Amino acid sequence: MIILKILKNKYFLTILGVFIWVLFFDKNDFFSQLELINKCKDLKKEKEYYISEIKIDSAQISLLKTNAEALETFAREKYLMKSENEDVFVVVAK
């Protein structure tokens, strides 16, 4: 009896309708919000990764600017540079 009275209440029906609309049909519905929260978490993890990579690269750059031997080693390994009277053999591991 009380449940039937509540279901006939126009305010209850209006609030229920608005709740259903916001939950499922609105542009910013519940499921879109969950998706955005997960995307935000992924982007924060990606940001932390890139910040750590920037720190590693900055340390390597400062080392290359101050140490001539490290610069020569880097150039030989990464860019296959060589001295004038020297041959470079590239060995590719399978």
Quick: pLDDT tens for 3-26: 888 888 889 889 999 989 888 888
Separation CA 41–CA 47 (nearest Å):
10
Query: CA separation (Å) from 46 to 4, 21, 52, 60?
Result: 53, 34, 10, 21
* Prediction pTM value: 0.61
Separation CA 59–CA 71 (nearest Å):
13
Q: Is the dihedral of CA 65, 68, 74, 75 positive or negative?
A: positive
Helix (H) or strand (E) holding 17: helix 10-20
Mean pLDDT of the chain: 89
Dump pLDDT digits (tens) for 42-79: 999 999 999 999 999 999 999 999 999 999 888 888 88
Going by pLDDT thresholds of 50, 70 and 90, the confidence category of residue 80 is confident
Helix (H) or strand (E) holding 62: helix 30-66
